[in-house]
Amino acid sequence: MKLIVQIKKRIMSIVFLILAFLWIGPLLIVIMTAMKRTEEYISKSPLSLPESIIPLFANMKAAWQLSGLGPSFENSLFYAILGASIAIFLASLAGYALTKLKIKGSFTIFMFIYAGTIFPFQLYLIPLYKMYNIFNIYDTKIGMLIFYITICIPFCLFVMRNYFTTIPNEVIEAARIDGASTFRIYRSILMPMCISPVLTLFLFQSTWIWNDLLFGLMLSKSDNVRPVMPSLMLLSGTFGIGSEPQIMAGALLASLFPLLIFLSLQRYFMAGLKLTTAGE
């Protein structure tokens, strides 16, 4: 019996090792390609090892300059950090109001807001483009920021509402008896209790904003407004201005922010998931 258990464990270990290799394999190919000179990439097999690590920095510099990746990197940092933060703040206010302030028709209001996540995002493209031109906010940072805040609010509200429903109403009533105002209860009692859900939301939403390509292409065209993913796309494609090693080096640069955010907030990740699903 012990022998059978050991054999099963070894088989599972081999299976997971293969899956891990399949998952990390494309990343290794990207890194190896980014470390090659253009001539080296063309003349050798894509799976061949690079001759040196030095071309990686030259490729990163070229990617940074050719496609305007530098300004776009700053733009995406602005959209991701500020957009996610404001969306979470507004969603937490709405979640607090809909769960603890006894608003009439609160569930209907919630469903009306959450309905924004039901439809495919492609349905919003033409109306958004026309509306942005009418209000003269097309190809502006404020226009991009408004969109990212708005598109993130429904999911943030879903998470915050679920979490607030797990907090006993007796906590709110006790605070009111002690003389705490409505906003004081939100600021001093509820928000300190939901650090993990908030940081988990920030991880999800800032990463989504950073990785957005569709709306970045649709709502911006200049280097001082365009997010990082549309700029990265300029390096590739039929009329791309960069070589394959430069494209891969640019992709590595573009992946730094999501990687750093995940490594910084990973200890809150599982706790946030457990807490935010407790109210479902």
* CATH for 62-167+195-276, options being 3.40.50.150, 3.40.50.720, 1.10.3720.10, 1.10.10.10: 1.10.3720.10
Domain range summary for the chain, segments of one domain joined by +: 62-167+195-276
Confidence (pTM): 0.84
Tell me 181's DSSP state.
-
Identify whether the C-beta of residue 82 lies closer than 8 Å to the C-beta of residue 75: no
| pLDDT by 10s per residue, the chain, length 280 | 676 777 788 888 888 888 888 888 888 888 888 888 888 888 887 778 888 888 888 888 888 887 778 889 899 999 999 999 999 999 999 999 998 888 888 889 998 888 877 888 888 888 999 999 999 999 999 999 999 999 999 999 999 998 888 888 888 888 888 888 888 888 888 888 888 889 989 999 999 999 999 999 899 988 889 999 988 887 775 455 667 888 888 888 888 888 888 888 777 766 655 554 444 4
